[in-house]
Amino acid sequence: MTFADIINSIGVFLILAAFFLQTFHYLKASSRWYLVLNAVGSALACYGSILIDSIPFVVMEGTWCVVSIIGLLRSFSPRRTQSSSVV
């Protein structure tokens, strides 16, 4: 198993763990742990995809990571009121 395989495997494991935990109601999709698992997992999978020169997966995992980090950062901001939320 190569270094890229190990990095990709760890990343994918973290993403799937987050999915499993959310699907079976151990974590909410808005929870910080869920977002951290997705951010770290997708960052590792993105790095692993760079190592194997797989541009489509670099784009997908990079986007996944950025969105997860934005969600994580937003989780630290004060809650918006119901009237200001997006429908």
Average pLDDT, rounded, for the chain: 92
pLDDT (tens digit per residue) in 1-42: 999 999 999 999 999 999 999 999 999 999 999 999 999 999
Between CA 62 and CA 67 the distance in angstroms is 9
In the Cβ-directed half-sphere of 38, how many Cα atoms lie within 13 Å? 26
Structural domain boundaries in the chain: 3-76
The length of the chain in residues reads: 87
Between CA 66 and CA 23 the distance in angstroms is 22
Strands in the chain per DSSP E: none
